[in-house]
Amino acid sequence: MKIIDFKFQNMKIPDIILLILFASFAVNARSQTIPASYSNIEYNDNGLLFFKKDNQKFYADTTGPRFTLKELMGNPQGTADGVEFDFGHLKGTFTYGLIPYGKADHPLPVFRFSTPIRDGKVEVDIKNAFRYPYDFVDWKENGYLTIGYRLADENGMIIFDGEISLTGTGPFEVAPAIYEGPFVNKVRPDEATVWCNTTLPVQASLEVNGKLYESDGKATHHEWRITGLESDTKYDYTVRYGKLSQQYHFKTALPKGSRDPFVFGYSSDSRHATGGGERRIEGTNAYIMKKIAALAYSKDAAFVQFTGDMINGYLSNREEQEVQYTNWKKSIEPFWHYIPFNAGMGNHEALNYIFRDAENRTAASIDRFPYDTHSAEAVFAKAFVNPVNGPASEDDNRYDPNPGRVDFPSYDENVFYYTYGNVAMIVLNSNYWFAPSLRRETATSGGLHGYLMDNQLAWLKETIAKFETDNSIDHIFVTQHTPAFPNGGHSGDDMWYSGNNEMRPWIAGKPVETGIIERRDEYLDILINGSSKVVAILTGDEHNYNWLKLTPEVPIYPEGYEHEKLDVSRPVYQINNGAAGAPYYGQEVLPWSDFTQSFSVENALCLFYVDGKKITMKVINPDTLNEIDSVELR
């Protein structure tokens, strides 16, 4: 195949290699079928993706990631005295210290030394740096150790917290380290899942209650489903990987339908903020997230639900997205060893093709494809371990231009439900197939911020109906990132769009029939008139805390609204807590503002105390530990 006319005899070897790589990229790119759900998206003859409008071509940004996990792990090599790293192009500072696994309930690096990164390289002298009396992990006796390190760039911004394990007492050999986890998720009365990710392939194992669970061969992702457990019971577990191991515990859920008291936490929006230090660790506010996790653990929370905007996101490559997800997970890792943190998607989890003009201005942006590997939904699913019990996708909805073929991303692990005792939690994705530019540029087609699409809504209706007839469930909470009634920061979108019902998704070049406010009402109708058990919707997006009790007296429509209006036959709460560290938003004046309660821009964790038929919400600032609010919900 002839791609470009070049004279190879006058080319240097590196140029030839680049040409071959470019040709390979072009062929591979063209092999990726453009989903029929999009419009005006094409490849050129060289395999470059573009958006076409008014005879102009806007090409997708092909800028590579600033950082990758592989690069930030530093390609470590053992030396006679310690270890050396190569961080590629990175310039800045390397700070490091021992991690006391087995000697602390919540092991974190005890940072001791700092050194400049020169030409991307760092050498650590283990023998001298951690000689007596600084060897508080007994590495000389045990013959292994784990170091935690922190990378900061030239401006002092923290980029990454990593780990490396070594065996030997000199010379040293690099061994597999757990850089994410171990975490506990999908906790039920009779089972739980423990999972982790290692820096190198290793055949890891998990021991629980005297039973050994082996990995299937060497791998870097390890996931164990433990079954046959007793409800409401504490279990110690040990993860072994090579010569190293870590020990923690988890507690199984209350029996299904139990009316025994328990507490769970809720928050969202922890993308990085101003203020420096751990408030901005490449993508996330690790300072507040760590305090939220510590507070939830100290209150004996059964689980924490976190719905969206964990990271800064809005990226065009999955490698950098993975770095930000790792930073978020690391921020709460010492507490996630013990209690589940269940994550949902927000708009900042967007991963897009970004089409730019000649001046590098954004013309349009859409969810990436292939959907099974590169979409925002796929990268999110890879980063977390959530239930797979939601709808399949938006394929075969009434607008699908290509029935029987995949034209939409999967809902696996981004729309799901779980139960605990007498409570059901339904997690929705109101940023599915998200095209950030859609509100101003519909020619590409794509999903709208705040919109629950048809198949997801139908699944929600079925799931609510199932719980309505389940006598073991007394209370249902539904959570999605975007408020039905924004109060500060997002009045121009969410499920309101300044009262403009014309906003809606576009599929294959055509708008769907139902506008955003109509869809909001259809959603609320399911929760209010299709259920007696839904207590509240838990939202975020707006970086503040507040609550609203929706009753017939609350005005919820723009002036002159001509469509059918919602019958509010019983009250339901909207509880917004987007105060997990993202830059705050102040309150705006909206039709329902007189009914909005307890508005606060303090960082916040909502704690729900469930005691049989009764639910009390307490809201606490995790930084200062003062109580912001207390509300009797039922």
Domains and CATH numbers, the chain: 8-60 (no CATH), 69-175 (2.60.40), 185-251 (2.60.40), 262-632 (3.60.21.10)
Q: At what angle do helices 318-336 and 286-298 cross, to 10 degrees?
A: 30
Residues of the chain with pLDDT below 50 are 1-30
- Cβ partners under 8 Å of residue 68, min gap 6: 319, 320, 322, 323
Q: 391-429, pLDDT tens digit by residue?
A: 999 999 999 999 989 999 999 999 999 999 999 999 999
Q: 12-58, pLDDT tens digit by residue?
A: 444 444 444 444 444 444 457 999 999 999 999 999 999 999 999 99
Which is nearest to 410 in space by CA: 371, 466, 456, 357?
371
User: CA–CA distance from 452 to each of 246, 393, 494, 513, 567 (Å)?
Assistant: 41, 12, 11, 13, 20
Strands in 352-356's sheet, in edge-to-edge order, are 41-43, 49-53, 56-60, 352-356, 362-367
Two structure tokens written together for 178: 């757990």
User: CA–CA distance from 621 to each of 296, 453, 487, 577 (Å)?
Assistant: 11, 35, 20, 11
- Cβ partners under 8 Å of residue 473, min gap 6: 257, 419, 422, 423, 424, 467, 533
pLDDT of residue 90: 94
Residue entry with tokens 């310039």: 91
Helix%, strand%, coil% for the chain, nearest 5: 20, 35, 50
- Exposed e or buried b per residue across 439-455, where buried means at least 16 C-beta atoms within 10 angstroms of its C-beta: eebbbbbbbbbbbbbbb
User: CA–CA distance from 563 to each of 37, 89, 454, 517 (Å)?
Assistant: 28, 57, 19, 9
* Distance from C-alpha of 309 to C-alpha of 206, rounded to nearest angstrom: 32
Separation of CA 631 from chain center: 28
pLDDT of residue 313: 96
Strands in 82-86's sheet, in edge-to-edge order, are 77-78, 82-86, 121-125
Two structure tokens written together for 169: 């007492």
Q: 96-125, pLDDT tens digit by residue?
A: 999 999 999 999 999 999 999 999 999 999
Please tell me the pTM assigned to this model. 0.94
- Cβ partners under 8 Å of residue 399, min gap 6: 454, 507, 508, 510, 512
Angle at 17 between CA 15 and CA 22, to 5 degrees: 95
